[in-house]
Amino acid sequence: MKKGIHPEAYRLIAFRDMSNGYTFVTRSTVNTKETVTLEDGIEYPLVKIEISNTSHPFYTGKMKLVDTAGRVDKYMNRYKDHYDKKKK
């Protein structure tokens, strides 16, 4: 590996899943302006994330079913006149 290209200033950062409020602390070099005080009384820099292992469908087992047939039917109904003109 090349020397001098990896950051060395790791610090403890709190990451908060915005979909369910789950917060975990890990080491990172990410820059952030927000802070949060957790149950341990220590103030950590805060990074807000959209999804984590506590809210991702793969890990939770709760999958969303997408109604693709309904979408195709809506599309075909909307543009039915256009396709009928093309066939003639």
DSSP assignment of the chain equals --TT-S----EEEEEEETTT--EEEEEE----SEEEE-TTS-EEEEEEES--TTT-HHHH--PPPP-HHHHHHHHHHHTHHHHHHHH-
pLDDT in tens, 19-51: 888 999 999 999 999 999 999 999 999 999 988
- 6: which 2 tokens? 């990896």
* pLDDT at residue 63 in the model: 63
- Distance (Å, whole) CA 31 – CA 10: 11
> In whole angstroms, what is the distance from residue 7 CA to residue 30 CA?
10
Mean pLDDT rounded to a whole number for the chain:
83
